[in-house]
Structure 1
Amino acid sequence: MKWQTTQQLKQLLGKLVKYPSISGSKAEVLLAQYVAAQLSELDYFRENNELVQLHSTGDGRYFVTALVKRNEYIRDTIILVSHFDVVDVQDYGAWKDVAFSPEELTKLFYKHQERLPSEVQADLQEGEWIFGRGVMDMKSGLALHMSLIEQACAGKFSGNLLLLTVPDEEVNSMGMRAAVPALLEMAEKYGLAYKLVLNSEPMFTRYPGDQTNYIYTGSIGKVLPGFYCYGKETHVGEPLAGLNANFMASQITNEFELNTDFCEVFGEEISPPPTNLLQMDLKEDYSVQIPHRAVTLFNLFLQQKSMDEMTGALVELAKRTARRIEERYHHQATRFAQLEKSTSRALSVNVLTFAELRHRAVEMVGLEAVEQLEQTILTNKKKKDERERTIQFVDRLAILCKDLAPMIVLFYAPPYYPAVNSSDDPLVKHVVERLQQHASKKHGVKIVQQHYFGGISDLSYVGLQQPFSSLQALTANMPMWKRGYDLPLEALKKLNVPVLNVGPVGRDAHQWTERLNVPLAFETMKELLEYTIQEVFSK
């Protein structure tokens, strides 16, 4: 047994972290191959080598599956899901060259404690934390799953375990989206009945200084609404003869940023408010013409609200903002006219969805011309990012329909994460209750249930809790839908497995102070995961 003791798991974690598997990098591919090779060395897989597989995601990357089948008659199966990609390390500054060397980085942090935030210094005094990119999010979870697979190979569990570890979770979840059909195929081929998808994303604090230990019976949803602003071009010497799109976008950001009207409340849990991820004008070169095309893009979390409801609320926000832009313009134009002793001007800002804009473009130039324009954008190698392509889609159609300007166009960019919640599932309720009792009795640890994991996870893609019809507002207004981005909706509906997240204690995901509590991860959490699996199979 090579992945069972704390020291063994710490060594495995170090080897996993040493691969700088930033999303989209070559190391992301190499790490998938390394994990598959390591699992293949276990005796069980030496005898059943076809049960460890590298699966192509279709874009040069791979996800890994490793199935331990108890015997040919047992169908009950738990899927252990994790991701092995990480975000980049530019935030480490002078320490970025050792960000993927946990032991070395941890020693440096001990040596230079005075340069660390006070709360990090406090953790250092405990002597139980290890630092590095990916130690928390989420290569420690993958290490724990490999440990569980090794135990399953030795016959510890009464059911089947299927390890699934994927790339690209931090960007577009290409790995998990590609894995869904493969999971259905494996169920058919090997006679599997999936009882639970068990993730081990780390616990996320809900507020600064939060020391609570959480498990999660769901995962929060996410959508990226964008607002494209088309004003009116003019020379900077005549600003009131036009409308600056940067001004329009800034007014939307002012209205939408941290707007708690868009927070959802579920029990005692409140989703974070929306926040801006991108804002820019679309001028390619400097000139004294005002920017008359701009865009702003937001992160918006979802729990229970349907996309119909959310789209309606976003359109209303855009309409309110349009009226404020008109009022502000009219107020300043009137004041300037008084100074200049001239006649003031007025304007009207239209609000459309992307679906309405595209319909108008088809009316103007025909469906064939619109589809040809879209195909040109898709094949433009300079626009690799799906957000960039989405914005270009909207921009090119808006230019065709410039007679509608000034206008604000609501659209959605990839990725989309459906909210998932298994809190009312009988099996999940039973396991949570037993796990809380066990953790308190055996480890003296109080575990609090959260209905939604707030860090966004691939658990969003193991089922579909909304009817297809409710997604029409999303798909119709997402320019990239079925043009380079989509979800396997039919497969998601068919898969539909309850979810649970039981993961280690960490701090500061996606920050240069990312760290993992080693004893809690590789002793306490390891035992709790083993107990969780046994409880699932006992039902």
Structure 2
Amino acid sequence: MRNDIASRAREIALALTSWPSVTGSAEEAAVERLVYCLGPMASTSTLPIPNDPRRNVFWLKRGRGRRTIVLTGHFDVVPVDDYGDLKPLAFTPESLLPEIVARLRRTGENPLALADFESGDYLPGRGLLDMKAGLAAGIAAMETYAGEANLLFLGVSDEEDRSAGARAAVPLLPVIAREHGLDIELVINLDAISDQGDGTVGRVVALGSIGKQLLTAFVVGKEAHACYPQDGVNAAYLGAELLTEFELADELAEVSGNEIAAPPTALHAKDMKSGYNVTTPAQSWLYWNTLQHRRSASDVFDIALMLARRAMARAARKVARDIPVMTYAELAARVAPDEIKAKADELAALTALDLPERNKLLTAHVWAKSGLSGPAVVMGFGSIPYPAVSLTDAGLEDAIKAAVRPHGLSSVRYFPGISDMSFFGESSGDLSAAAANTPVWGTGFTMPESAGFPCINIGPWGRDYHHWLERLHAPYAFETLPRVLLSVIEAVMNRR
């Protein structure tokens, strides 16, 4: 079986899926299973992530010389509560399959999923698509490979939460390269792509990855009794004008050739009242997902400030008051750094709070210390940024395209979802504006310097990941993908 690359890829994928790492739990079990699948090799090691219970897994397969290709991917998954009464089977694809088919036949709720499963080409299971099958293809390809390249496998323990695994691994790669005499020529990320059609969209090599920045707005109104709303300014209303302005705003939907980064959409909008009363909200907190191809954080922020000022000009006409829009950096400049740092350190210890929530609390604290009064809007960023990356070596790009073409793959410029490519690849946008306007930057999280390696994505495809109908197109993942990886490795090594 070990000589049959497709059978081996399937075997590894099912083994990895059956011993999962759900974000926040089962960390050591997942590492143990990954090491087990790699086999009893002296060059396998696990390295801790600072201030985190999880570990990354490294495996170096020696070739001849210094030239090295890295294959990497995350092995954490999202929770499984959405499976309902099938939750006990969520990590056992072969047992889950007939039960899902029976449910879909009974309910009729998703004809496409039922047709997929009945075709025999798709397997269900949490994490099988996103992304144990990608890891399995990488491991199977490495086991089979017998050429000149050094192959370095890097399994990162967290991408689904805050990419702690990749952020910890990036500064280690140059150290590992020096210690082992490696010249890293390419990083291949193994992440999955969703395709609701015939697989054409999924059978691709991505020559870069979109970036993500989480824009925030801390909105300050002026409280008033609900019977006299004109005496104040309702922070919920100001937030609604911001929502109207930002939702699907074309100005933040970046276009590169035929590829479009999805426009912004609100992920959170809520006032900051603690309970019911008849006083209008004094403050509200909003944030938006934004995606980029080449734009820097400064570019994104300038557009966001323009949109916010346009929205507040509209609101000002209704409430008959000026509503200034400022940046978090401008607000923070009004408060002693020591006061901000003390609160930031306090919030950093509250690890149960997500990063946007910590940024909200710190912004509210700084506002309270600033001596300013509302109405006003404070714009900032609320989480870890994912820099957009792109391949810059035209000759390498041509070699990769030629290598994948015989396997039926095409190419796209940007992987359409956020991924660890942002930390391994060649970054295309400066993040200094994000650093200055993310309240918990440096306390709630740290950002490594971009590794700057040529980085691409080649992974499995399927449908509905992060959903109980998550399913993998098995023939491509097990039969095609490992061979594609081998072809790309050879193509890179044949360049001189």
2:68–2:185 CA contact under 8 A, matched in 1: yes
Q: Deviations over 1:491-513 (max 9, x none)?
A: x2xx4211121122211121221
- Partner AA of 1:104 in structure 2: S
Q: Give 1:257 deviation, angstroms.
A: 1.2
Paired residue total: 491
Name the structure 1 match of 2:479: 523
CA contact (8 A) 2:97 2:117 kept: no
2:339 aligned partner? 369
Preserved contact between residue 4 and residue 147 of structure 1 (Cα < 8 Å): no
Query: 2: distance between equivalents of 1:90 and 1:516?
Result: 19
Q: CA deviation at 1:3?
A: 7.7
Q: CA deviation at 1:434?
A: 3.1
1:351 maps to what in 2?
A: 325
Match of 1:338 in 2: none
For the pair 1:76 / 2:36, whether they are aligned, the reply is no
Tell me what 1:184 maps to: 174
CA distance in 1, matches of 2:197, 2:303: 31
Mean CA deviation greater in 302-311 or 32-41: 32-41
**2:90: which partner in 1?**
99
Match of residue 123, structure 1, among 98, 116, 121 = 116
Q: State the match for 1:406 in structure 2.
A: 375
Q: Please state whether the residue corresponding to 1:415 is helix, strand or coil.
A: coil
Match of 1:449 in 2: 411
CA distance, structure 2, for counterparts of residue 254 and residue 96 of structure 1: 38
What's 1:378 paired with?
Answer: 348
Given that residues 3 and 150 in structure 1 are in contact (C-alpha distance below 8 angstroms), is that contact kept between their aligned partners in structure 2?
no
What is the rounded CA distance, in whole Å, between the counterparts of 1:14 and 1:106 in structure 2?
A: 13
Equivalent position to 1:509, from 451, 457, 465: 465
Q: Distance in 1 between matches of 2:158 and 2:274?
A: 30
| Aligned counterpart, 2:213 | 223
Change (3 A) 1:169 1:276: same
Gapped regions of structure 2 (runs ≥ 5) = none
Give the match's secondary structure for 2:262: coil
Encode CA deviations 1:86-142: one digit per residue, 9 max, x unaligned. Answer: 112232233233222211211112223333412212212321110011111110001
Please tell me the residue identity of whatever aligns with 2:400: V
| Contact map agreement 1:157 1:533 (CA 8 A) in 2 | no
Whether the 8 Å contact between 1:263 and 1:272 is mirrored in structure 2 is yes
User: Given the superposition, is the C-alpha separation of residues 501 and 412 from structure 1 closer, same or farther in structure 2, using an over 3 Å criterion?
Assistant: same
Whether 2:454 is the aligned partner of 1:462: answer no
Q: Helix, strand or coil: the match of 2:193?
A: coil
Contact 2:17 2:91 in 1 (8 A): yes
Cα distance in 1 for partners of 2:3, 2:138 equals 10
Distance change >3 Å, CA 483–CA 173, structure 1 → 2 = same
Q: How does 1:47-196 map onto structure 2 within 5 Å?
A: 49=42, 51-58=43-50, 59-71=52-64, 74-114=65-105, 115=107, 116-152=109-145, 156-196=146-186
Which amino acid is the alignment partner of residue 35 of structure 1? L
In 1: Cα distance, 2:337 partner to 2:404 partner:
57
Give the letter aligned to residue 484 of structure 1: G
Q: 1:475 aligns with which of 430, 435, 441?
A: 435
User: Could you tell me how far apart the structure 2 residues matched to 1:128 and 1:408 are?
Assistant: 52
For 1:376 and 1:7, the matched residues in 2 are separated by 51
Amino acid across the alignment from 1:109: I
Following superposition, the deviation at residue 423 of structure 1 comes to 5.6
Q: In the TM superposition, what whole-angstrom CA distance separates every residue of 1:123-175 from its partner, at most 9, and x where no partner exists? A: 123211100111111100011112123224xxx12210000010220121010
State yes or no: 1:258 paired with 2:254: no
Q: Is the 8 A contact 1:232 1:405 kept in 2?
A: yes
In 1, Cα distance between equivalents of 2:283 and 2:216: 13
RMSD of aligned alpha carbons: 1.9
Looking at structure 2, the residues matched to 525 and 211 of structure 1 have their Cα atoms a distance apart, in angstroms, of 14
Q: Which residue of 2 is the match for residue 246 of structure 1?
A: 236
Structure-1 residue corresponding to 2:289: 299
Aligned residue among 191, 197, 207 for 2:187:
197
* TM-score between the two structures when normalised by the length of structure 1: 0.87
The aligned counterpart of 1:533 is 489
CA distance in 1, matches of 2:289, 2:188: 26
Conserved 8 A contact 2:391-2:426? no
Contact 2:60–2:153 (8 Å) recurs in 1: yes
Shift in Å at residue 485 of structure 1? 1.4
Which amino acid in the other structure matches residue 410 of structure 2?
V
CA–CA distance in structure 1, aligned partners of residues 138 and 87 of structure 2: 28
CA change 1:377–1:501 in 2 (3 A) is closer
Deviations 1:481-533 (A, max 9, x none): 111312112xx2xx421112112221112122111111111112221111111
* Shift in Å, 1:68: 0.7
Q: Per-residue displacement from partner, 1:276-308 (whole Å, max 9, x unpaired)?
A: 111112222333322211111111001011222
Secondary structure of the structure 1 residue equivalent to 2:442: coil
Question: 2: CA distance between counterparts of 1:130 and 1:374?
Answer: 45
Distance 2:135 2:373 in 1: 52
1:465 shift after superposition = 2.9
Which residue is equivalent to 1:429?
398
Q: Secondary structure at the match of 2:45?
A: strand
**Which amino acid is 1:257 matched to?**
E
Change (3 A) 1:146 1:434: closer
Name the structure 2 match of 1:484. 444
Max Rg structure: 1
More deviation, 514-523/109-118: 109-118
Structure 1: gaps of 5 or more residues: 330-345, 440-444
Against the structure 1 CA distance between its residues 128 and 242, is the aligned structure 2 distance closer, same or farther, given a 3 Å change threshold? same
Distance 1:510 1:314, change over 3 A: same
| % identical aligned pairs | 33
More helix per residue = 1
1:415 aligns to 2:384 (yes or no)? yes
